[in-house]
Structure 1
Amino acid sequence: MTLTLWLTFLVAAILISVSPGAGAVNTMSNGLRYGVKRSLPAILGLQLGYGAQIVLVGAGLGAIVASSTTALTVIKWVGVAYLVWLGIQKWREPVMEAVEEDQSAISHRRQFWNAALVNLTNPKATVFLVALFPQFLIADAPHGPQLITMGTTLILVDCLVMLGYALLASQLFRFMTTPQRQRQMNRVFGGLFVTAAMALASFKRAA
């Protein structure tokens, strides 16, 4: 992959990550509640899910999933149900005074796997990657190194963007000084998760 081609791909990767979606909502929700440092497990979880999608597409299985209406539909509705569940959980989440220190380790694991499932159950990512990768692959060059370069670029860019989202959300923490404000914010993010679920439910693959 030439430098010019990689820079073009880098711009595409940045636009992909900056575009608001379920992953961004998840990151901002954690950033607001826990701050940047304690949001890292969720950010890493998102990258696990994203990385699995990249490997899936790179191995050629993504094309099979993308071409199978049944497989894509099943994945889509699992993702919809999961986002709705996250929204309900966020809506009902207790205020921060109720979060005890001895629960932090469990919370980290839960954050990680919740975030991983957000990206794993997103068929839009599979379809998008199937459409994106061929645009940048050089046909007469080994595909493995090119896919590794693109996959690494996507994950590193997404990590940085998600850190930015977490940092932005954490700045709102000082305004969340009362239980009432915290409940309101929990309900805002709960609503955003459900909105993301509705957007995913309305997703239709281009013919």
Structure 2
Amino acid sequence: MSLGVWLTFLMASFLVSVSPGAGAINTMNSGINNGVRSAFPTILGLQLGYGIQILAVAIGIGTVLASSTTTFSFIKWMGVAYLIWLGVQKWRSPGSLENSNSEENTKNKQFWQSAFVNLTNPKATVFLVALFPQFLSNSSTSSYMPQLLLMGGTLLAVDIIVMFCYAALASQLKRFVNSTSRMKLMNRAFGSFFIIAAIMLAAYKKT
């Protein structure tokens, strides 16, 4: 892969990561509730889910998932149900400024919740299946695997940076959430965002 092609792919990776979605909402929710450093498990969880999607596409499973209407629908509706569940949980949150869970349990919850958010997003699979072939060299002297590893690593690195920026942006709002009523309002706002993301995912159809 030439430098020019990689730079183009780098720009595409940035545009994909910066576009608002369930992952960004989840990261901002962690940022405002726990701060930038404490959002690290959330971001790692998102990368685990994203990385599995990338690996699946790289070894060809993604093509099968993207072409199978039944499998695509099953994963999509799992994702829709999970996002709605997250939204309802945020709406029902009492808005306490105290964290009643242990730190370790909270980190584990953040990590696996985020991983599942990305794992149940078939839009990412369809996107990767469509994106990767556009940048793979057709030269017989080029090996596909090094190119796929480079593109996968680029996607993950860019997404980590962008998600940290989202977490930092959200953490700046924490100074304004200094009462139980404001925290409750913020929780309901993020709960609504999760539900909106679920509606958008439900409306998504393969072309």
Shorter chain as denominator, the TM-score bin is over 0.9
- 4+ runs deviating over 6 angstroms: none
- Whole-Å separation in 2 of the counterparts to 1:152 and 1:32: 28
Query: How many residues were matched structurally?
Result: 205
Question: Any stretches of 5+ residues in structure 2 without a counterpart?
Answer: none
- Whole-Å separation in 2 of the counterparts to 1:197 and 1:103: 29
Native 8 Å contact 1:33 1:96 kept in 2: no
User: Which residue does the alignment assign to 1:34?
Assistant: 34
Q: In structure 2, the residue corresponding to 1:169 is in which secondary structure?
A: helix
Q: CA deviation at 1:96?
A: 4.0
RMSD over aligned CA atoms reads: 0.8
Native 8 Å contact 2:49 2:118 kept in 1: yes
Q: In structure 2, the residue corresponding to 1:183 is in which secondary structure?
A: helix
Alignment deviations for residues 105-157 of structure 1 (CA, whole Å, 9 cap, x no partner): 10100000000000000000000000000000002210000000000000000
Mapping for residues 160-171 of structure 1, pairs under 5 Å: 160-171=161-172
Q: In structure 1, the residue corresponding to 2:205 is in which secondary structure?
A: coil
Q: CA deviation at 1:97?
A: 2.8
Mapping for residues 177-196 of structure 1, pairs under 5 Å: 177-196=178-197
Mapping for residues 121-132 of structure 1, pairs under 5 Å: 121-132=120-131
Residue 6 (str. 1) matches residue 6 (str. 2)? yes
Q: Which amino acid aligns with 2:63?
A: A
Mapping for residues 19-168 of structure 1, pairs under 5 Å: 19-100=19-100, 103-140=102-139, 141-168=142-169
Q: CA deviation at 1:95?
A: 2.5
- Whole-Å separation in 2 of the counterparts to 1:93 and 1:14: 33
Alignment deviations for residues 144-175 of structure 1 (CA, whole Å, 9 cap, x no partner): 00000000000000000000000000000000
Alignment deviations for residues 62-121 of structure 1 (CA, whole Å, 9 cap, x no partner): 000000000000000000000000101111223343313x61110100000000000000
Q: Percent identity?
A: 56
User: Which residue does the alignment assign to 1:173?
Assistant: 174
TM-score (norm. length: structure 2)? 0.97
Q: Which amino acid aligns with 1:202?
A: A
Native 8 Å contact 2:62 2:126 kept in 1: yes
- Whole-Å separation in 1 of the counterparts to 2:158 and 2:18: 9
